[in-house]
Homo-oligomer: A and B are copies of this chain.
Amino acid sequence: MPEISKRGSLMPNSPIRKLVPLAEKSIERGNTVYRLNIGQPDISTSDKALEAIKNLDVRVIDYGHSAGNESLRRKFAAYYKSIGIDVDYSNILVTTGASEAITITLLTCLNAGDEIIVPEPFYANYFSFATATDAVVVPVTSHIEDGFALPPISEFEKKITKRTKAIIICNPNNPTGYIYSRKELEQLRDLVKKYNLFLFSDEVYRELCYDGQEFTSMMKMEGIENNVVLIDSVSKRYSATGLRVGAMVSKNKELLSTALKFCQARLSPPYLGQLAAEAALDSTKEYLSGLYNDFLERRNYIINELNNIPGVFCPMPKGAFYCMAKLPVDDAEKFAMWMLEEFEYKKQTVMLAPGAGFYYNTDLGRQEVRIAYVLNLNDLHNAMECLRRGLEAYPGKADIIRTKKEFITSEL
């Protein structure tokens, strides 16, 4: 048979998804598996979206515009205006989830071999999208001991080469929950300006900022209007991940008209998802604040619980619904597999996303896991009980290995 492509071989298994077969087997054995591996909240989808679907009143589910339905684009624009981002519908392309928005953005802006700088740990699929589009990921490491703050801008500058074309950030951050400060974003702005780079800003968790932390959109930064692409999705805001509706937003019209050619090739975003997303944008304040409060409560609960488990360390995330926790194990992936293959407590276990997949330098994440606090408090309680007992029973226990930085810090 002919050979699979090199990029196919290089393509990573998603750390979020790769353990799914093991989870399925655990379920087959009669266990309940608490899925903390994936950003799939158990919160009801916006009722506006559900109603719109049930009230479908058309005869033909047809393609629609490659840029997305104009009515949806106008509604997105009104939403952005309401949060101080000054765009109109012509600045917006509707995509099949943020996933497609990122892929098309990479295809539009980077040639094969061009480099994109990403603070790590990063949303694992950034690496996948880069691999699929032959872009080169260049990591700048943020550290758990700093709560995953933006690394010093000098670290970014050191990584800039002739092939550097873009920086991508996720703010509030998946997987760390860190929210970049205005000062950090201004430093990025200046860097982007100085080296004439693109800046892709994935802001899908913008509504989930806790403890009074202020969120600043990269779209508001002056002087880099043509450099910035905002990546967005309705998945998390309205608890409707399966709609597969996202957006890429930019003031750079040449960039958008090029991106539209990629949109044309795949014809159109999903009709039903767009219908539901347009309705979801009218979600009530009650719905949105209910969702916010649920996540806040879950965060407060789980971070406390995690840090109470002997040997576990987890900085307090300020946004989104993830945290990166360091576990006292030899290898977090082995541990995550063991939890699914070998462990159960009262017919329950937990599915975690191994941290290594969120790092370019996979060794850095060897003791870390990403946890999505997307389940109700009762489930989270049971999940934490499983995690605690799992860590007790796991044969590959180890102290938390301090990172180089941590080591240096303690040496000084």
Q: Closest 5 A-B residue pairs measured CB to CB?
A: A242-B271, A128-B265, A1-B226, A272-B272, A14-B264
- Interface residue ranges, A against B (CB under 8 Å): 1-2, 4-9, 11-14, 16-18, 20, 38, 40-45, 49-50, 53-56, 59-66, 96-97, 99-100, 103, 107-112, 114, 125, 128-129, 132, 134, 165-166, 196-198, 226-227, 239-244, 252, 254-255, 258-259, 261-262, 264-273, 276
- Distance in angstroms between the alpha carbons of A4 and B109 in the assembled complex: 5
Asked whether A60 and B38 contact (CB < 8 A) given A1-B226, A254-B4, A265-B99, the answer is no
Instruction: Tell whether, in the assembled complex, residue B63 and residue A265 are in contact, meaning their CB atoms are under 8 Å apart.
Output: no
B241 engages A8 (CB within 8 Å): no
Known contacts A44-B60, A56-B54, A60-B45, A125 near B5 by CB under 8 Å: no
Nearest B residue to A6, CB-CB: B111
Contacts A96-B244, A128-B261 given; indicate if A255 touches B63 (C-beta within 8 A).
no
Query: Which residue of chain B has its CB nearest to the CB of A272?
Result: B272
The verdict on A107 contacting B53 (CB below 8 Å), with A11-B262, A42-B60 known, is no
Picked from B8, B20, B268, the residue with its CB within 8 Å of the CB of A65 is: B20
Q: Is the CB of B242 within 8 A of A272?
A: yes
Residue contact B265 to A108, C-beta cutoff 8 Å: no
Q: How far is the CA of A171 from the CA of B165 in the complex (A)?
A: 41
Query: Residues of B contacting A227 with CB < 8 Å?
Result: 1-2
- Nearest residue, chain B, Cβ from A70: B24
